[in-house]
Every structure is written in C-alpha cells, then in structure tokens.
Amino acid sequence: MMGRLENRVAVVTGATQGIGKGIALRLASEGASIVFCSRNSELSEDVLAQIAARGAKGAYVQADLTQKEQAEHLISEAVARFGKLDILVNNAQSRTPPAPITERDDEDFRGLYEGGVMGSLWTMKAAFPHMRDAGGGRIVNFSSFSVSVGMPNKSDYNVAKAGIAALTRTAAQEWGRYGITVNAVCPAGANEAIQAFLDSNPEASSAITGEIPLGRLGDCENDIGAAVAGLVCDDTGFVTGHVLMLDGGAHLRPMRGAGKLPVKIAPVS
C-alpha cells in the first residue's frame, strides 16, 4: 500500500532530534524521501538509519540556517540529490535562556530573528522557484502559541515566532497562484529528554500537563509529525495561510508550568 507522500521529496530543518526528527520520520513513514539538516552532525547517522528502516531514502546536510549561503545550499543540495523539492518544513530555531525584556541585549533578538525568521525566509525563497516550476508545493513553518499569550521572559523568541507567522500568511497570499500552500504550526511536543525530565520530576510534570486540556505533551512523531504529514499531503491542498495550534489545547491556558522545564529542552517550538 502506497503512503500519502510516495514519490515526494521533503526538506526538514533541525531534524536530528526532537520535533524535527519526529516529523522527518513520520514523513518517511508516509513514503517521502527526506533531506534534513542541523548545525551538528553528531546524531545524523542514527536518523538516517531510522529513515531507512521505514523504507524511505534519506540524506543529511550540515547547515547553520543563520547563514544565508548555507540555507540556500541546503535546498540546492536536496534538489541535486533527488531531482526536485515538494515539501519544506522549517522547524529549526535557536534559543536563549529565559530573561526579562530589560535584561535582553540586541544580540539575543538578532540571533533568534536570524535563526528563525531569516532562516525560514532564505529556505523558502530558495525553494520557491523549484515548487513554482513544478506546479506547486507545501511549506510548513514553525510559530508558537507563546506569541498570542506574550509568554514572559521569552521576548526575543516571541518576536521571532510572530515574524514567522506574518511571513507565513504573506507567502500564502503571494504564492497561492502557483499552487504552493504555506502554513505554520505551533507545537508542544515531548522529545526523549523532556519525557525523561517529566518522568523524574512528577511535581513539575503535574504542573505542566495540568495546564494542557488533553493532559499531556504531544508525541513528536505520532502527534506533531502526523499533523504535519496531513498538512503536506494532497488531502489538504486547499488549506493555506493558517497558524495551527498543535498543543493539546495549551494555548487556551497560560502554561505557567512551562517555566519549570530546563530551557535546553523547552517543549514549545
């Protein structure tokens, strides 16, 4: 039985761990060939093996998406290896430790803006001619529900994610005529490190999951990855310009407990 993404080529950024990895594996399970990137290649061989175990082809490109040339190279390398590009998932995003606005310096804002908004913009612009000439494509960017609630101590992150939401809607307006859909997702997913932390800290786990209507964080592959796979398949070709909450309803509540998570494994992408 053929998967919904058979014969499609997908680029997933920041996919050697966490939500990006879960998305890459889910798209591979649906039949797509996967090109993925990260700044550090240390975990790439394991992801390649898991993609192959799902019967899909995979390729890794080391890339720092705060650098325009590397973002463009990622897209050109994907096309060179597989001959086309059907799907782009912009998951990669740098982070900073929590701090109030008054303690943020310009470099915090500049770094997250370049790693989020500009990194997404550069890959989108590089992907656009390939999708346009092929008659269409699917782009999924990553915003955050922290934008809508103004989550404290994350001003630089919130600004970057708000910019990505605006970029998504604008590209959906401009590129729809070419059959390209552009959407964004706001996920709250639990990778292995987050789950280990929650398992060993029941009080923090209760505080965090108690603020989520569905009572848990999402599984990176079977919740977040499955939703993204749905957004990039043929069934949703009439869906564009949306910023979709993939958070179990967390955006309906303030998520004060999220502050109990170590910043390096913060669940909100």
Q: What is the DSSP secondary-structure string of the chain?
A: ---TTTT-EEEESS-SSHHHHHHHHHHHHTT-EEEEEES--TTHHHHHHHHHHTT--EEEEE--TTSHHHHHHHHHHHHHHHS---EEEE--------B-GGG--HHHHHHHHIIIIIHHHHHHHHHHHHHHHHT-EEEEEE--THHHHT-TTBHHHHHHHHHHHHHHHHHHHHHGGGTEEEEEEEEBEE-HHHHHHHHH-HHHHHHHHTTSTTSSPEEIIIIIIHHHHHHHSGGGTT--S-EEEESTTGGGS--GGGGGS-GGG-SB-
Whether 157 sits among the annotated catalytic residues: the reply is: yes
- Active-site option among 60, 113, 157, 178: 157
Q: Which residues are catalytic?
A: 157
